[in-house]
Amino acid sequence: MDYLKLIRYQNLLFLALVQIFIKYGLFNSFETTLNNFEFSLLVIATLCIAAAGNIINDIYDVEIDKINKPSKVLIGKKISERNSNQLFIILNIIGVGIGFYLSNVIGKPGFAALFIGISALLYLYASYLKGMLLIGNLLVSALVAMSLIIVALFDLLPIITPQNQAGQSAVFKILLHYALFAFFINFIREIVKDLQDINGDKKAGMNTLPIALGRKRTITIVFVLGVLITLGVVLYMYEHLYSQQILLLYFLFAIVAPLLYFCIKAWDANTPKEYGLLSKLLKFIMFLGICAIPLYRFITL
């Protein structure tokens, strides 16, 4: 169970669910490249590299976590650093190896570089970039968005022809909108998590937004970003879902309403407990947003 906590199995299950929804919910009516076995390998590769990223992040964050969340520290207490490093290497080898195999299966051997690059960026994030103002936040959010886009790169892109290009492009555009949504939600959540972890981060010499600007200014930025993404979702609904009643109602009650509640709570949040609530709200909103993906089969593209 300690190893499952180390790799953050709940987040990995969520990531797998997202990719399954994309493959069998969004892409269901379109020509695709990967069969069920090959798609399963893509999910496994993604999960292995993400799990390895979680491990290396915890290895570098041991001292910080002793301050921010001492009861949740695993490395050095329940799992040795040596075993953690070995698991990090093994998971990366599996993830990159599967990525290399799949890239050759679809006739795009260059795509193997994606898995190598993502693995390297996760290491750089944990070891160096996380301490740089906003750079780490932007990077990890971009990688979250990439976990959605990679399904299209392997499943849609290789099979695009002049005959099916219009339909494939339309569904790919929907996925890009979702990736953008995931990027911004995760970016806001990363800032909120920095608010929660300010004490440990400050001792470690990091330069996060709350350290650079202070808690009050940072939570104001979080509020503004929350308002902006709410307006963005409303604009998306108006432009793309105006005639799609099922999706329109879902977005209104399952995404816009929670986002408005988030903005209200963010307006005057100033304690770790309130920051924790904001973080959980954003995770819940992300989950509800992803659950809308299978509903797109009711749309005529």
pLDDT tens-digit map of 201-212: 888 888 999 999
What does pTM read for this prediction?
0.93
What does the pLDDT read at residue 298?
Answer: 67
CA 130/CA 54 separation, integer angstroms: 13
Lookup result for tokens 């339309």:
170
pLDDT tens-digit map of 93-151: 999 999 999 999 999 999 999 999 999 999 999 988 988 889 999 999 999 999 999 99
Quick check: 186 pLDDT over 60? yes
Pair 187, 141: CB distance under 8 Å: yes
Quick check: 297 pLDDT over 80? no
What does the pLDDT read at residue 146?
Answer: 96
Ordered by start, the domain boundaries in the chain are 2-298
Cβ-based neighbours of 120, under 8 Å, separated by 6 or more: none
Cβ-based neighbours of 183, under 8 Å, separated by 6 or more: 141, 142, 144, 145
What does the pLDDT read at residue 116?
Answer: 96
Residue 196 banded pLDDT, cuts 50, 70, 90: very high
